[in-house]
Amino acid sequence: MADARDDLRFLPFAVLLLAFASGCVPSLADNPVRDVRRDLPGAYDSTRDAGSTAAVATDDPGRMDWREYFRDPDLRALIEAALDANQELNVRTQEIFIAQAEAAAKRGEYLPRLGAGVGIGGDKVSLYTSQGYSDRATGLAEVLADFAFGFRASWEVDVWGRLRKAAAAADRRYLASREARNFMVTQVIAEIARNYYELVAIDGEIEVLRRNLQVQSDALDVVRAQKLAGRVTELAVQRFEGEVLKTRGRVFDLDQERVQARNRINVLAGRYPAEVPRTPEFLAIPLPHDLSTGLPTQLLENRADVRRAALELEAARLDVASSRLAFLPSVSLDAGLGYRAFDVSHLVATPEALAANLAGNLVAPLLNRSAIEAKYRQANAQQVQAVFEYERTLLQAYTDVVNQLARYQNLTRSYGQQAERVDVLGRAIDVSNTLFQAARADYAEVLMVRRESLDAQTELIETKKRLLLATVDLYVALGGGWRGNEGNPAPS
């Protein structure tokens, strides 16, 4: 009893010795980490322009549901189909399951392990050993069977919290994978909207060309009649005929672009090429109700990529803390309880065949410190990298809003001027026709006015398309689109 007490009194000194031998953590002065910079300007630069056409408010446009933002029912139906069947989105969903499984595995590392086992074997001991001589003296067989069954348990006691910090880091990466899927949801919605506006704009351009083609064909008939009357030459007929052929060629080119735009939408929706329902009046497509920008600080909560970068940074910091604790001694417990006998008829005899064991281990890293130090430095470098990645993502988010807001403002002004130009040139066509018939204008002037009018109508559609695309990009830059569609592919 006295010897056991002496051993117990020695135990604290042994623990302190192991802790001192293994607790020296290397310095990271060669690659120090710093605090992340989250400071943002109080407002967006573009909103300081007095001529801004976008509302500057303190509400949170990034939280607006895409069903409220996009009011075209055909576009909404396409987005719903894409969110259900988009392949890239399904890939991201599987990444969430993978991250969830990794987090569960990390959590299981600091829980006790319990297993059941059954064993059978044989043992022949040398006769010239104490055990062999004793067995022969007691009349036991030369070869003894060994039957056993029972339970074994082991547990690494997470004294310093190393395993729990590793599990917390895995949880953060799981949440980051969900934010990655949210970011992909926003991108899918935006791509569907962009390609939808592209497709409907092409429809509008083709319709403008066909109307002008009819007008040009009628004008060609008039010029041919005037040639027969001797009022114009064959050159005028050929010039008008060339314009008709040019317009027909543009229709064919646009038709091919329409096929490709339609199929891009089908691929995003996860289906084979098919007709895409859409509005027939492109210029009648309304702009979103509200284009307020909110405050830059709202990007921290609205942008899924910023949220993901923040979670990755938290995970990296937890990895560093876990790697640091790996220099300290680890404590583990091993226990077993079951039955063991050399004769199966005595296997369940209680308490004679009952066997149990309990052991505690205290292990400190001494010779393998170089591997632990390398992992520690690697985790620190990844933490520094995560700081820069977060700051880069936040800077890019702010810049995206400034760029897209300025783009929307300028396109809004440009669209108003383009609409006025279309009206002016429409009246100019009527004037040129009257002057041509009165022989007060030649065919070149008539052709020039018609060509400018056609270009103006096409540019008006193009500007409206770019304006709609700007509203999509501004909505994405503000972090809208993913709320309400993140789903719950795996429990948190």
How do the domains of the chain map onto residue ranges?
19-110+159-328+366-477, 115-157+330-363
By three-state DSSP, how is residue 356 classified?
strand
d(CA 370, CA 70): 57
Query: Which strands form 330-341's sheet, in the order they lie side by side?
Result: 113-124, 143-157, 330-341, 354-363
Residue 212 and residue 243 in contact, taking contact as beta carbons nearer than 8 Å: no
Residues with Cβ within 8 Å of residue 363, at least 6 apart in sequence: 329, 330, 332
DSSP state of 29: T
Distance of CA 294 to the CA centre of its chain: 23
What DSSP element (H or E) covers 463?
helix 443-477
SS3 of the chain: helix, strand, coil, percent, to 5: 65, 10, 25
What's the CATH code, domain 19-110+159-328+366-477? 1.20.1600.10
pTM passes above 0.85: no
The tokens of 392 are what? 């880069």
> Whose CA is closest to 308, among 396, 486, 180?
180
CA distances from 100 to 93, 104, 170, 179 (A): 11, 6, 8, 13
The Cα 275–Cα 249 span in angstroms is 23
pLDDT tens for each residue of the chain, 492 residues long: 445 455 555 556 555 555 555 557 777 878 888 888 888 888 887 544 434 444 444 466 778 888 888 888 999 999 999 998 888 888 888 888 898 898 888 888 878 888 999 989 888 888 888 888 787 888 777 788 888 999 999 988 888 888 899 999 999 999 999 999 999 999 999 999 999 999 999 999 998 888 878 877 877 777 787 788 777 778 877 887 888 888 888 889 999 999 999 999 999 998 899 999 998 888 888 876 556 777 888 888 899 999 999 999 999 999 999 999 888 888 899 999 999 988 888 888 888 889 999 998 888 877 778 888 999 999 999 999 999 999 999 999 999 999 999 999 899 889 888 888 888 887 887 777 777 666 666 666 777 777 788 888 888 889 999 999 999 999 999 998 888 776 555 444
Kindly give the residue spans of alpha helices, DSSP state H, lying in 269-351.
Answer: 299-302, 304-325
- Whether a cis peptide bond, with omega within 30° of 0, leads into 351 is yes
* Owner of token pair 């987090």: 103
Which tokens belong to 266?
Answer: 């089908």
Structure tokens at 74: 């055909």
**Rounded CA gap, 444 and 375, in Å?**
78
CA distance 491 to 219: 69
* Topology at the third CATH level for domain 115-157+330-363: Outer membrane efflux proteins (OEP) (2.20.200)
Burial of 44 (0-12, 13-18, 19+ CB in 10 A): buried
Asked if residue 151 lies in contact with residue 114, where contact means CB atoms within 8 angstroms, the answer is: yes
Residue carrying the six token digits 């329409």: 258
Distance CA 52, CA 426 (A): 30
